[in-house]
């Protein structure tokens, strides 16, 4: 099971996105576990994550997180994030895991 960490400012908007992602993951049968945390708490979970995705509003932290983890770090496309386009986000996850 691959662990995906999604980070944002407070975790509220991203938790809604994670709920939709979990439904999409269940529908595809993918072996992914997704969790959402505020950026301030993400450092504690970096070592346990296989991919770290950042909400667009915290994309500024990407370089710092890349230095702090071996996992791929990427910013979610703003349009995909705003529309909660789980198909596009799952494609991004799969590309980062490849």
Which residues are annotated as catalytic? 8
Which 3-state string (H, E, C) describes 28-66?
Answer: HCCCEEEEEEEHHHHHHHHHHCCEEEECHHHHHHHHHHH
Q: Report the distance separating Cα 59 and Cα 73, nearest Å.
A: 10
Q: Report the distance separating Cα 85 and Cα 21, nearest Å.
A: 9
Residue 57, C-beta contacts closer than 8 angstroms, at least 6 positions apart: 8, 9
């Amino acid at each position: 099971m691959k662990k995906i960490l999604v980070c944002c400012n407070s975790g509220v908007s991203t938790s809604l996105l994670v709920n939709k992602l979990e439904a999409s993951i269940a529908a595809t049968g993918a072996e992914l576990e997704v969790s959402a945390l505020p950026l301030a708490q993400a450092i504690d979970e970096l070592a346990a994550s296989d991919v770290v995705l950042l909400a667009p509003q915290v994309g500024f932290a990407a370089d710092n997180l890349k230095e702090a983890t071996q996992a791929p770090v990427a910013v979610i496309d703003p349009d995909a994030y705003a529309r909660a386009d789980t198909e596009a986000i799952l494609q991004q996850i799969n590309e980062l895991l490849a």
